[in-house]
Amino acid sequence: LVWNRLNPQNVLDYPKQSSIDCADCPASWHRDELSLAFSDDEGETWTDPVVIARKPNGNVSYPYMFEVEPGKLWISASGGLRIALNVADFTPAKE
Q: What is the pLDDT of residues 1-42, one digit of tens each?
A: 999 887 767 676 766 666 666 666 666 667 888 999 999 899
The residue ranking higher by pLDDT, 49 or 15, is: 49
DSSP letters for the chain: -EE--SS-TT-S----B--STT-SS-B----SEEEE---SSTTSS-PPPEEEEE-TTS--EEEEEEEEETTEEEEEEETTEEEEEEGGGTSPPP-
pLDDT value of position 83: 96
Predicted pLDDT of residue 56: 83
Please state, for a pLDDT cut of 90, what percent of the chain lies above it: 49
Q: Give 43's pLDDT tier (boundaries 50, 70, 90).
A: very high
